[in-house]
Amino acid sequence: AQSVTQLGSHVSVSEGALVLLRCNYSSSVPPYLFWYVQYPNQGLQLLLKYTSAATLVKGINGFEAEFKKSETSFHLTKPSAHMSDAAEYFCAVSGSGAGSYQLTFGKGTKLSVIP
Amino acid sequence: EADIYQTPRYLVIGTGKKITLECSQTMGHDKMYWYQQDPGMELHLIHYSYGVNSTEKGDLSSESTVSRIRTEHFPLTLESARPSHTSQYLCASIGLGAGYNEQFFGPGTRLTVL
């Protein structure tokens, strides 16, 4: 069984400030981990993914995330927030074994960027 | 251009109507999914398919039904819509051999039942 916990349903940062969105997971098998972004009235777009190749993963739009097995965490960061980063962000986990084709999503974190 | 499409994008209908939400993908993906998403909530899997003529119910109980007659097409049907069906419905797919279970999402259908 897998689960994802995203701490903070709503995060506000000032433009230019550090963005930190937290994600903790539980998985009975080595996981694949994902961050998706959703803009209003749109579907989900993949930001980045962890697939066991490297613990620090770089994604699109300047975002990155670090896989920490000991902390079962996969927090998303961006050094400097931009107004266009305002959106909802979802962390997701799947198993890495054969047949593990389903994702379990967190409840999402809405990011607001203050000018 | 390879993509995943959902129609309609917005739908407002009355109670008791039958509706079909369309989802098509041009990527040749074998695995397709339907999620239901309420505001401020996580995505809940309601149906999935791993190939033609293969459909399964997801974690969230739903009164909707799906079919998979063609690889590229995965429509969702509600025989009699109710206000409790008001939600956003997202379709997604994974490619054969894509690895890592990365799902591609359509733009969603926002359904309002009056």
Residue ranges in chain B whose pLDDT is less than 70 = 1-2, 95-100
| pLDDT 10s digits, B90-101 | 999 986 555 567
Task: Compute the nearest-CA separation of A101 from chain B (Å).
Answer: 6
Residues in CB range of B94: below 8 A, 6 or more apart: A101, B29, B30, B31, B32, B33, B101, B102, B103, B104
> Tokens standing for B37?
């998403």
* B47, B58 Cβ separation under 8 angstroms: yes
User: SS3 for A5-69, per residue?
Assistant: EEECCEEEEECCCCEEEEEEEEECCCEEEEEEEECCCCCEEEEEEECCCCCEEECHHHCEEEEEC
Task: Compute the nearest-CA separation of A87 from chain B (Å).
Answer: 12
| pLDDT 10s digits, A35-67 | 999 998 889 999 999 887 788 999 999 999 999
Predicted pLDDT at B112: 96
- Chain A positions touching B90 (Cβ under 8 A) are 43-44
> Tokens standing for B59?
């974690």
**Which chain B residue has its CA at the smallest distance from A52's CA?**
B100
Predicted pLDDT at B45: 92
| pLDDT 10s digits, A78-103 | 999 999 999 999 999 987 665 677 88
